Amino acid sequence: MSSEKPKINPAPNGPYLVKGLESIQNAKGPLEARATMALCRCGKSNNKPFCDGTHSSIGFNSDKLDGRVADKRDTYEGSEVTVHDNRGQCAHAGYCTDGAPNAFRLKKEPFVDANGASGEEIATTINKCPSGALRYAVNGEDKADRGGDPNIFIAPNGPYVVSGGCEIANTEFGDGLTNDHYTLCRCGGSKNKPFCDGTHWNGFKAE
C-alpha cells in the first residue's frame, strides 16, 4: 500500500472525487476500488455508490445549511476518563446510547455522564463512534485516534464511513475533530455537508 494517504475532494455541488483509495466496501464485502472514483453525494444516482451526473439535473447544493447543530466541543470529566463531545459532528449512528446508555443519555441534559459507566465501557463505546463526534482522554492524553489503513465503508442506507486518516480537501473540521475518522453525507440532505448529520434516517434508501 502506498504511504501517501488517499485524497477526497468534495466537488462543489457535485460528487466526492476519491483518489488513491485501495479499500472500499459495503455490507456485502469489498468493492473494486478504482484509482479515481466519483462517489454520489446527492443521494439520487441510479448507480450508487457511484455518481451518474444526476446532481446536475436536480440542482444539488453542497453548501452547509442554516439550522444545523452548532460546532462546539463540550468536555465532561470523569474519574477514569474525560469525554469530549461535538454534537455538531454527530451522525446519530446510535452506538453510544446503545452501548453505554447510562453514560450517553437519550433526552437528558447533559447528554454525557462521564461517571455513568466504567472507563473501559466508555472507551469501548466511543471506539465504535464512526463520526468522530465522541472522543476520550485518559490522564490528559487523547486516545481516540484509531489509525489503521485508509478505508471507506458504505453504511446501508447511511453515510460513507471514512477511516484511516483519509485527507479531505477544502473542508474544515469542527472543534476538536480530526481526519482520523469521520462520516460523509450521501443522502444529500445533511445540513452539515459534507459531513453526515443523521438526515438519512428520514427514509434514505440506497439499494
Burial 177-203 (b: 16+ CB within 10 A, else e): bebbbbbbbbbbbbbbbbbbbbbbeee
Q: How many domains does the chain have?
A: 1
First to last CA, the chain: 30
Q: What pTM was computed for the model?
A: 0.96
On whether residue 115 sits in a domain, the answer given is: no
Does any domain span residue 105?
A: no
- Tens of pLDDT, residue by residue over 62-83, are 999 999 999 999 999 999 999 9
Residue 114 lies in a domain: no
Q: Is residue 117 part of a domain?
A: no
Quick check: is 118 in a domain?
A: no
**Residue 2 has what pLDDT?**
55
Q: Is residue 185 part of a domain?
A: yes
Residue 113 belongs to a domain: no
Q: Which residues of the chain have pLDDT under 70?
A: 1-2
Tell me the residue range of the domain where 9 lies.
1-93+130-207
